[in-house]
């Protein structure tokens, strides 16, 4: 496997591109590659190409773009994981894992029990951090698509923007009967709402019902909050044969 680099802007016609910043630094100082070395570059929107290092400076890498290569295929359903922001660095794991699984987008949600606020997230530049984690996870799993990390929103705001496709919400076993995923008709695009450590509040659950959100459940054991998105995506792709 050739090392993989993210290169959002590449001139396919001129067959040239350049790595800068973190990507250049990784090639030059971590992997210590030189002129002629072969790598793969992906544009984050589904394109992946074999490339060779044409020239190096201290901070930048010029590339000759060679032939297109096949990345790991995308799932047959576009899933936006609408994840209540978890405590500490647990959200980092969630972004890493749902990227690996094939999520199309991550919508951070500040819900009642999230123990953070939109202002705090903005001040800490968390969205930029999550974007870097998503790129890093894409490299590991072999995708060429970097999921969109959307600006954090409150639950009501997100539901009010009427996201495309159906919206499912994962509910705790104690919240009563949710459907099994195999009982939900397969969609081309879906929003998947997942709650924080303490679960959804009763008010949030009724907001979701009023917004036409479908409750789904994954068995009767209580899942760790940061494992729930991984488990839900696996069950969804299997139920809908959408891997």
- Report the interface residues with a second copy, using CB under 8 A: 72-73, 75, 97, 100-102, 140-143, 173, 180-182, 218-224, 227, 230-232, 234-235, 237-239, 241, 243
Which helix H or strand E contains 17, and what residues bound it? strand 16-19
Shortest Cβ distance from residue 203 to a second copy (Å)? 21
The nearer residue to a second copy, 109 or 181, going by C-beta atoms, is 181
Distance of alpha carbon 89 from alpha carbon 47, whole angstroms: 30
Q: How far apart are the first and last CA of the chain?
A: 22
Shortest reach from residue 215's CB to a second copy, in Å: 15
Residue 228: helix, strand or coil by DSSP? helix
Tell me how many degrees the CA angle 234-140-31 measures, rounded to the nearest 5.
Answer: 170
Residue appearing with tokens 């029990």: 113
For residues 115 and 196, is the Cβ–Cβ distance under 8 A?
yes
Q: Which lies closer to a second copy via its Cβ, residue 124 or residue 227?
A: 227
| Nearest distance, CB of residue 35 and a second copy, angstroms | 29
Nearer to a second copy by Cβ, of 30 and 234: the residue is 234
Closest CB to a second copy among residues 63, 100: 100
Minimum Å gap between C-beta 133 and a second copy is: 13
């Amino acid at each position: 496997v050739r090392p993989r680099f993210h290169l959002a802007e590449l001139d396919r016609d001129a067959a040239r591109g350049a790595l800068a910043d973190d990507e250049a630094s990784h090639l030059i100082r971590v992997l210590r590659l030189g002129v002629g070395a072969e790598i793969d570059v992906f544009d984050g929107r589904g394109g992946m190409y074999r490339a060779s290092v044409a020239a190096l400076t201290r901070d930048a890498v010029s590339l000759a773009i060679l032939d297109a290569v096949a990345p790991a295929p995308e799932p047959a359903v576009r899933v936006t994981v609408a994840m209540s922001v978890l405590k500490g660095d647990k959200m980092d794991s969630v972004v890493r894992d749902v990227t690996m699984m094939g999520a199309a987008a991550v919508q951070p949600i500040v819900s009642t029990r999230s123990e953070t606020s939109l202002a705090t997230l903005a001040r800490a530049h968390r969205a930029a951090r999550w974007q870097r984690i998503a790129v890093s996870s894409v490299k590991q799993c072999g995708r060429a698509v970097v999921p969109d990390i959307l600006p954090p929103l409150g639950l009501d705001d997100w539901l009010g923007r009427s996201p495309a496709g159906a919206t499912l919400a994962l509910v705790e076993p104690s919240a009563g009967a949710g459907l099994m995923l195999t009982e939900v008709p397969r969609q081309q695009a879906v929003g998947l709402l997942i709650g924080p450590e303490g679960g959804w509040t009763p008010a949030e659950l009724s907001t979701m019902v009023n917004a036409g959100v479908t409750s789904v459940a994954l068995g009767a054991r209580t899942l760790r909050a940061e494992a729930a998105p991984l488990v839900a995506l696996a069950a969804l792709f299997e139920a809908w044969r959408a891997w």
